[in-house]
């Protein structure tokens, strides 16, 4: 056995005996909004469309050793929508859709976080949009890269749950299911 192999065996033995600590808990306390993204896809007249929200604020308090005590909150400026065209953006701000004059923001606030293993979690919380609040479960994958946590998640929003696109839009021109995706980037603390 060479010296390098002997060191590896000794280190492994110390780890097993608990004499050398494993990497400790990692805490994430703030979200870097400039590095984070919030997007959505939907079907309109049979074709897939993509959009983003350019302005949002996210708050996070997440400890990998105690995910059950975690808290997350998100406030989205609905007027910051980019649905691919000025016409679409204008339409989405009208009363039939977001009604941004009455409801300028959407919010999510977690009420529980459950660890699923393999850096996967379920964030349960209240999503409020257009004066309607619904409890949603959001699957999230946490990836750690270069002392930064990347929280990737996706949920399906049903627009009729929030009374969006009623009236002339109530038919199948725009899909009822809107896929929301996010990537929140947070430095380790």
**pLDDT in 10s for each residue of the chain, 189 residues:** 554 444 444 434 433 333 333 456 899 999 999 999 999 999 888 889 999 999 999 999 999 999 999 999 999 999 999 999 999 999 999 999 999 999 999 999 999 999 999 999 999 999 999 999 999 999 999 999 889 999 999 999 999 899 998 776 666 578 889 999 999 999 998
- Boundaries of domain holding 47: 23-187
Vertex 60 angle, CA 65 and 74, to 5°: 145
Q: Report phi then psi at 119, rounded to 5.
A: 60, 25
Question: Does residue 2 form part of some domain?
Answer: no
Report the CATH number that the domain containing residue 32 is assigned in CATH.
2.40.128.110
Q: What is the pTM of this model?
A: 0.83
| Phi and psi based region of residue 112 (left: phi greater than 0; alpha: psi -120 to 50; beta: remaining) | beta
Question: Does residue 8 form part of some domain?
Answer: no
Question: Does residue 37 form part of some domain?
Answer: yes
Q: What total of structural domains would you count in the chain?
A: 1
Question: Does residue 14 form part of some domain?
Answer: no
């Amino acid at each position: 056995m060479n010296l390098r192999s002997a060191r590896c065996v000794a280190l492994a033995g110390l780890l097993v005996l608990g004499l050398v600590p494993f990497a400790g808990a990692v805490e994430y306390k703030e979200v870097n909004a400039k590095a984070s993204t919030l997007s959505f896809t939907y079907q309109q007249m049979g074709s897939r469309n993509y959009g983003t929200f350019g302005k949002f604020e996210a708050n996070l308090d997440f400890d990998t050793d105690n995910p059950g005590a975690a808290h997350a909150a998100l406030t989205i400026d609905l007027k910051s929508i980019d649905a691919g065209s000025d016409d679409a953006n204008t339409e989405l701000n009208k009363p039939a859709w977001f009604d941004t004059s009455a409801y300028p923001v959407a919010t999510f606030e977690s009420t529980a976080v459950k660890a699923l293993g393999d850096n996967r979690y379920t964030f349960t919380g209240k999503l409020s949009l257009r004066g309607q609040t619904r409890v949603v479960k959001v699957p999230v994958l946490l990836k750690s890269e270069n002392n930064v946590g990347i929280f990737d998640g996706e949920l399906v929003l049903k627009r009729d749950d929030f009374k969006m696109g009623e009236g002339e839009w109530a038919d199948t021109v725009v899909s009822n299911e809107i896929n929301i995706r996010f990537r929140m980037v947070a430095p380790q603390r």
